[in-house]
Structure 1
């Protein structure tokens, strides 16, 4: 099964996320349902079902104090003219949490991350951006780059199963770990 470790964004931020996404309604992007927007701490990929219990137990050893984070600031990967992902930034002690997750999962010899960890919540995927709309897109990014969404307490992580469907991914929480 396809799994990842995540921090969910609280329900009270969902309307604000939907509002930000609506500002991009002139573009044909693939938006993430605001109800499932999250911060991916570690993508594990395809894992045999019989390994899930061991991974869950390993995650129980994650050691990090709960912390407050601010959610806001809009950005893209890899860069505005060639955007593939639109994201919201997240402040706070995510580096420590990520490091502890990596350490707890090290016995499983999972694939190394291709990019340095960057705490963010994906809002949309850009499949195609017509040249004539590129400047409008870049201007909108500039207007929203410092947008504030809100704050939240990070006090748990979740091991989630991802099932890909034509309507978008369906996530199921397999295991939750309270941190601290």
Structure 2
């Protein structure tokens, strides 16, 4: 089972992002559906079914207070003329980085080493094939994008399930954020 940990987005935020998804065509873009929109905190990857309960128990009871988040500014991975991923960022980054670090520590204790790339909190809007896509006009048009602020009171363990025509994300478990005592 392919697993990742992330933040579910409120319906209002998905609706706001849906307006960005109603876009002029971008050659090669595979747009996320509103149901797929989320913020990934930690990709885990393939996990044998027998180890899923260990992962679920291992990431429970983190000491991290609820916080408020806002999505802002369109960005991309790769150069704008040949992007691989089109996204919107998140602020403030500090509570997300704190969660990411705690999750990495817990998962490392279970044998899942942290990723080598730096953590860049974002919500993926579209992906492109190997040749990439030219997203410069989109980035310019949405450079000042700001979502409504929204509370983050839990994080979720997701399964990525392949289906005809794409992938469906299913929440396996939600974990409430709890202040440090």
Q: Contact 2:153 / 2:176 at 8 angstroms: preserved in 1?
A: yes
Task: Report runs of 4+ in structure 1 exceeding 6 Å deviation.
Answer: none
Alignment of 1:1-180 (within 5 A): 1-92=1-92, 93-127=95-129, 128=131, 134=134, 137-180=135-178
Q: Could you say what the CA RMSD is over the residues aligned between the two structures, in angstroms?
A: 1.6
- Render the CA deviation track for 1:28-83: whole Å, top value 9, x for unaligned: 41011112200111111110111111111111132211110111210000221220
Q: Which residues of structure 2 form unaligned runs of 5+?
A: none
SS in structure 1 of the partner of residue 61 of structure 2: coil
Q: Distance in 1 between matches of 2:147 and 2:25?
A: 19
Which 5+ residue runs of structure 1 have no aligned equivalent?
none
Distance 1:59 1:129 in 2: 35
Number of aligned positions between the proteins: 175
- How far does residue 26 in structure 1 lie from its aligned partner after superposition? 4.6
**TM-score, normalization by structure 2:** 0.89
Distance 1:16 1:109, change over 3 A: same
Higher relative helix content: 1
Output the TM-score relative to the length of structure 1.
0.90
